[in-house]
Structures are given as C-alpha cells and as structure tokens.
Amino acid sequence: MDLLVKAGVDRDMVYVDHGVSGRQARRPGLDNAINAARAGDVFCVTKLDRLSRSAKDLHETVERIAEKGVSLSIDGQVYDPADPMGKMFIGILALM
C-alpha cells in the first residue's frame, strides 16, 4: 500500500486482498478496484504479479480494465490496454 501512496494514489483508492493469493483470478479487492475505476482513470499496480500470476488471468483482467476505458500503470509505466502497442507490452511483461 505504501508504494502506491508514494506513487500518488489516494489512500482511499487503494484496494487490498488480505489473505487471498494473487493466483486466484477473482479477488474481492481486485473486483472492487476495477468496479470503482472510471473512464480516464489510471489503474496502478506496483508489480505485474500483484495484478495476476497467470497469463490467461492477466489477459482477462486487462480486458476488464480496458473495457472501462482505463489505462494500466505498472511500476509507474502507463500502458493503454485498448491500444495494440499497450496490449503488446503488457503481453510481453506477462511472459517474463
């Protein structure tokens, strides 16, 4: 949480899944964060594995974010998941 706050995220907008593994595709905190996102927002994660630990789940989560018109910030680098280049970069990061 502290890394997100240092990155400029309002503490009230930080969602955490306590006791739930990132390996699970559906997590209450993640679902709440995506539901709270509005077009033009930037969805911030400190590391990609905080968002998902499987390429399939990551793809589905990024699609949910893109459908809302929201950009994705991974460790301060912002990607547009609706843009082909943004999708490519996110996909490459997922492979690593």
Domain extent listing, the chain: 2-95
Confidence (pTM): 0.82
CA 70 from chain center: how many Å? Answer: 10
Averaged confidence pLDDT in the chain: 87
- Domain at 2-95, CATH homologous superfamily: Resolvase, N-terminal catalytic domain (3.40.50.1390)
Query: What is the number of H-type helices and E-type strands within the chain?
Result: 4, 3
Percent of the chain exceeding pLDDT 70 equals: 94
Q: Interior CA angle at 44 toward 38 and 47, to 5°? A: 150
CA dist 75 and 95 (Å) reads: 17
Which residues of the chain register pLDDT less than 50? none
